[in-house]
Amino acid sequence: MTGSGFNFDNTYIHLPKAFYTELSPVPVRKPEIVIFNAPLATDMGLDFSGISTDIKAALFSGNIMPEGSEPLAQAYAGHQFGHFTMLGDGRAIVWGEHITPSGQRLDIQFKGSGPTPYSRGADGRAVLGPMLREYIISEAMHALNIPTTRSLAVVTNGEKVYRETGLPGAILTRIASSHIRVGTFEYAALQQDKGIIQTLVNYTIDRHYPWIKEEQNKTLSLLKAVMEKQADLITHWMRVGFIHGVMNTDNMTLSGETIDYGPCAFMDAYDPRTVFSSIDHMERYAYANQPAIAQWNLARLAETMLPLLDDEMEKAADTTEEAVNSFGALYKDKWLSMMRAKLGLFGARAEDESLITDLLDWMQRAGADYTNTFRHLTEEKPPQDKPYNDRAFKEWYTRWQVQLAKNTKPLKSSLSLMRANNPAVIPRNQKVEQVLDAATNGDLKPLKDLLTALQEPYNNRSNLKPYQSPPKKEERVYQTFCGT
Ligand code: AMP
Ligand code: MG
């Protein structure tokens, strides 16, 4: 694979052997590229212009591997819906770490490339629909300026994968700044060897938080840095109405990127209790629970660090407890700033919070669409149609105008702040389902059109119209599935 620009410098493979198993993807019968992210490839310094479609399909299915790759499956554990489990890459294989022309270190990973020692009896394969779903949502999140793994390619393997019925098998190539998860730390802690967890702490600092190397208490600094990143991430999710759906500790990265797009979905009508995932019976991962769950996951991360923090367990526990307890205030601050930005408010005034919560409460009562309500506010005139032609909303609007007038900056600045924080388009569930339906039946055009619409989500334009309507009653998606 010369001339394509791969530039591997693999470091994960130098961690203790417990962290991974070296293995190659299982070859597939008839690989065909369904979608390829050319702009991302270019950003990564990859160039496939001189390479035939067949070779490209062979590459992104694992039938051939590029020079310099040292494929491995990662070991990890995790709390799934609150319960501890041994996991690991059951159907994923990391090719290695590619260094981009700008010096960024990126994991390239297959999802759906066959069984591994961590498959726990499952087939190690993935289905076309769910892999395209991850492609759409992860690329949409990136365009929304939200830290996320990216999708480089989806390839069908020419084989049927059995999930109740036979479905087209596919492989996703995922790009991430790393795949180190809270679950990786939980796995390391389980080894009952202080050296192992220390190695992982050092590795994570080197890879994601190099400035911490100079700090005195590196472990605590790492915990705090990850807390900050996660508070930022969850604030972004709340901003756009994103519901991850499976915030298990194995699906939370140390880098602060969103990872693992399974039953995730975007909220339509505002309701803090919104849940889409068919397996989330207890509403554990509902929209409004996400900050508290992030904190719960961070507490699991903190526990793995205890042996490094103090020889006296109690002292170590006090230290981490204090740190993790500060997450609530840390998040609240970020959430308030974000909501102020959504309403075009500069500065911070005591009345802002009730102005924000009163709007949200009204939206919930009125069943108002989360995305569109905020975007309407950027239009200078109050919206006139239903549900906005209502006294409570008009009163709120007048209060908001009073608050806006207190800004030290002109209205123009408020409007651009709002337009940069309130997307005009999101991947609406009914649209995602429609394009996936067409794509799995061989018609990729609706999917590509949707991807184009989602590329510049903050720039409203007339051709976004078909993607902006909330679902009609008959289009409403009530449940999403893990879709493996
Ligand atoms: P997820 O819910 O996607 O984060 O997956 C949880 C765990 O199940 C991970 O360890 C996955 O590798 C594993 N897993 C999911 N689907 C499969 C599959 N088809 N074959 C093997 N392992 C799987
Ligand atoms: Mg996962």
The residue nearest atom 6 of ligand 1, judged by CA position, is 87
For residues 36 and 56, what is the distance between their CA atoms, to the nearest angstrom? 10
Pocket probe for ligand 1: among 93, 119, 131, 179, the residue whose CB has the most ligand atoms within 8 Å is 119
**pLDDT for 187 beyond 90:** yes
Q: What distance in angstroms lies between residue 90's CA and the mean position of ligand 1's atoms?
A: 5
For residues 158 and 464, what is the distance between their CA atoms, to the nearest angstrom? 35
The residue nearest atom 20 of ligand 1, judged by CA position, is 124
For residues 230 and 301, what is the distance between their CA atoms, to the nearest angstrom? 12
Q: Is 377 helix (H, G, I), strand (E, B) or coil?
A: helix
DSSP string, 102-131: T--EEEEEEESB---TT-TTS--BEEHHHH
Helices (H), 274-410: 290-309, 313-325, 327-342, 352-366, 370-376, 391-405
Over residues 448-459, the mean pLDDT reads 98
Helix axis angle, 313-325 relative to 290-309, nearest 10°?
150
Q: What distance in angstroms lies between residue 89's CA and the mean position of ligand 1's atoms?
A: 7
pTM: 0.98
Assess contact for 181 and 246: CB atoms under 8 A: no
Q: Is 484 in the pocket of ligand 1 (CB under 6 A)?
A: yes
For residues 257 and 6, what is the distance between their CA atoms, to the nearest angstrom? 23
Q: Is 88 in the pocket of ligand 1 (CB under 6 A)?
A: yes
What whole-number percentage of the chain has pLDDT above 90? Answer: 95
> How many angstroms from the chain centroid is the CA of residue 476?
23
Q: What is the pLDDT of residues 406-429, one digit of tens each?
A: 999 999 999 999 999 999 999 999
Q: Is 91 in the pocket of ligand 1 (CB under 6 A)?
A: yes
Q: What is the pLDDT of residues 306-344, one digit of tens each?
A: 999 999 999 999 999 999 999 999 999 999 999 999 999
Residue of 9, 54, 206, 250 marked catalytic: 250
232: left (phi over 0), alpha (psi -120 to 50) or beta: alpha
**From the CA of 134, which ligand is nearest?**
1
For residues 225 and 473, what is the distance between their CA atoms, to the nearest angstrom? 43
Assess contact for 136 and 454: CB atoms under 8 A: yes
Q: What is the pLDDT of residues 69-93, one digit of tens each?
A: 999 999 999 999 999 999 999 999 9
- pLDDT of 3 reads 64
- Residue-range domain boundaries for the chain: 12-176, 182-335
Q: What distance in angstroms lies between residue 65's CA and the mean position of ligand 1's atoms?
A: 23
**pLDDT for 243 beyond 80:** yes
For residues 228 and 255, what is the distance between their CA atoms, to the nearest angstrom? 11
Assess contact for 369 and 470: CB atoms under 8 A: yes
Determine how β-strand 92-99 pairs with β-strand 265-266.
unpaired
Q: What is the pLDDT of residues 108-130, one digit of tens each?
A: 999 999 999 999 999 999 999 99
The residue nearest atom 7 of ligand 1, judged by CA position, is 87
Residue 228, class by beta-carbon neighbours within 10 Å (0-12 exposed, 13-18 middle, 19+ buried)? Answer: middle
* Per-residue CA distances from 9 to 46, 63, 72, 148, 179 (Å): 15, 21, 14, 22, 15
Q: Is 90 in the pocket of ligand 1 (CB under 6 A)?
A: yes
- DSSP, res 158: E
Residue 318 appears among annotated catalytic residues: no
Q: Is 127 in the pocket of ligand 1 (CB under 6 A)?
A: no
Assess contact for 157 and 169: CB atoms under 8 A: yes
For residues 147 and 177, what is the distance between their CA atoms, to the nearest angstrom? 10
CB atoms within 10 A of CB 455: 14
Between the two ends of the chain, the Cα-to-Cα distance in Å is 30
Mean pLDDT of the chain: 97
The encoded tokens of residue 139 equal 């690329």
Pocket probe for ligand 1: among 26, 72, 91, 482, the residue whose CB has the most ligand atoms within 8 Å is 91
Q: What distance in angstroms lies between residue 91's CA and the mean position of ligand 1's atoms?
A: 6
Assess contact for 424 and 458: CB atoms under 8 A: yes
Q: Is 251 in the pocket of ligand 1 (CB under 6 A)?
A: yes
Q: What distance in angstroms lies between residue 260's CA and the mean position of ligand 2's atoms?
A: 5
**From the CA of 92, which ligand is nearest?**
1
The residue nearest atom 23 of ligand 1, judged by CA position, is 90
- pLDDT of 34 reads 98
- pLDDT of 262 reads 93
Q: Is 32 in the pocket of ligand 1 (CB under 6 A)?
A: no
Q: Is 262 in the pocket of ligand 1 (CB under 6 A)?
A: yes
- pLDDT of 2 reads 52
**Residue listed under structure tokens 């070296």:** 22
**From the CA of 118, which ligand is nearest?**
1
- pLDDT of 191 reads 96
Q: What distance in angstroms lies between residue 280's CA and the mean position of ligand 2's atoms?
A: 15
Q: Is 260 in the pocket of ligand 1 (CB under 6 A)?
A: yes
Assess contact for 198 and 67: CB atoms under 8 A: no
Q: What distance in angstroms lies between residue 466's CA and the mean position of ligand 1's atoms?
A: 35
User: What is the phi/psi pair of residue 238, to 5°?
Assistant: -65, -35
User: What is the phi/psi pair of residue 393, to 5°?
Assistant: -65, -40
For residues 62 and 252, what is the distance between their CA atoms, to the nearest angstrom? 26
In one-letter notation, the amino acid at residue 360 is L
Q: Is 204 helix (H, G, I), strand (E, B) or coil?
A: helix
**From the CA of 87, which ligand is nearest?**
1
The residue nearest atom 22 of ligand 1, judged by CA position, is 90
Q: Is 87 in the pocket of ligand 1 (CB under 6 A)?
A: yes
- pLDDT of 483 reads 67
Residue 450, class by beta-carbon neighbours within 10 Å (0-12 exposed, 13-18 middle, 19+ buried)? Answer: buried
Assess contact for 112 and 174: CB atoms under 8 A: no
Pocket probe for ligand 1: among 72, 81, 87, 482, the residue whose CB has the most ligand atoms within 8 Å is 87
Q: Is 340 in the pocket of ligand 1 (CB under 6 A)?
A: no
The encoded tokens of residue 39 equal 């702009």
Q: What distance in angstroms lies between residue 265's CA and the mean position of ligand 1's atoms?
A: 19
